[in-house]
């Protein structure tokens, strides 16, 4: 499997996803809001929101992959 990169992150902007981290943790139901290109090599970060909370940033290199959430299921649950 390919690593999570800036190109793959762009395709998930504005969508709700589960972020699977390389250490095995999962950040559940977040909306990816912005891709930040920081100075230096491999310092890109992704910004996400969890509900009404303040935006949080995480380095792209710590994300294994993102899993898209099904919007139809989210409507049924809510």
* Domain span at 49: 6-77
Q: Rounded to an integer, what distance in angstroms lies between the CA atom of residue 10 and that of residue 78?
A: 27
Instruction: State the pLDDT at residue 49.
Output: 93
For 6-31, the pLDDT digits (tens) are: 888 999 999 999 999 999 999 999 99
Contacts (Cβ under 8 Å, ≥6 apart) of 53:
none
What does the pLDDT average to over 51-70? 90
For residue 25, being part of any structural domain is answered with: yes
According to the 3-state scheme, what is the secondary structure of 15-40?
Answer: CEEEEEECCCCEEEEEEEEEEECCCC
The enclosing domain of 33 has a CATH number of 2.30.30.100
For residue 47, being part of any structural domain is answered with: yes
Average pLDDT, the chain: 86
What pTM did the predictor assign? 0.82
For residue 1, being part of any structural domain is answered with: no
In the chain, how many domains are there? Answer: 1
């Amino acid at each position: 499997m390919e690593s999570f990169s800036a190109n793959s992150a762009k395709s998930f902007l504005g969508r709700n996803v589960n972020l699977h981290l390389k250490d095995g943790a999962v950040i559940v139901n977040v909306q990816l809001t912005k891709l930040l290109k920081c100075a230096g090599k491999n310092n890109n970060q992704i910004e996400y929101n969890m509900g009404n909370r303040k935006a949080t940033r995480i380095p792209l290199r710590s994300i294994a992959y993102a899993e898209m959430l099904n919007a139809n299921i989210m409507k049924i649950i809510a």
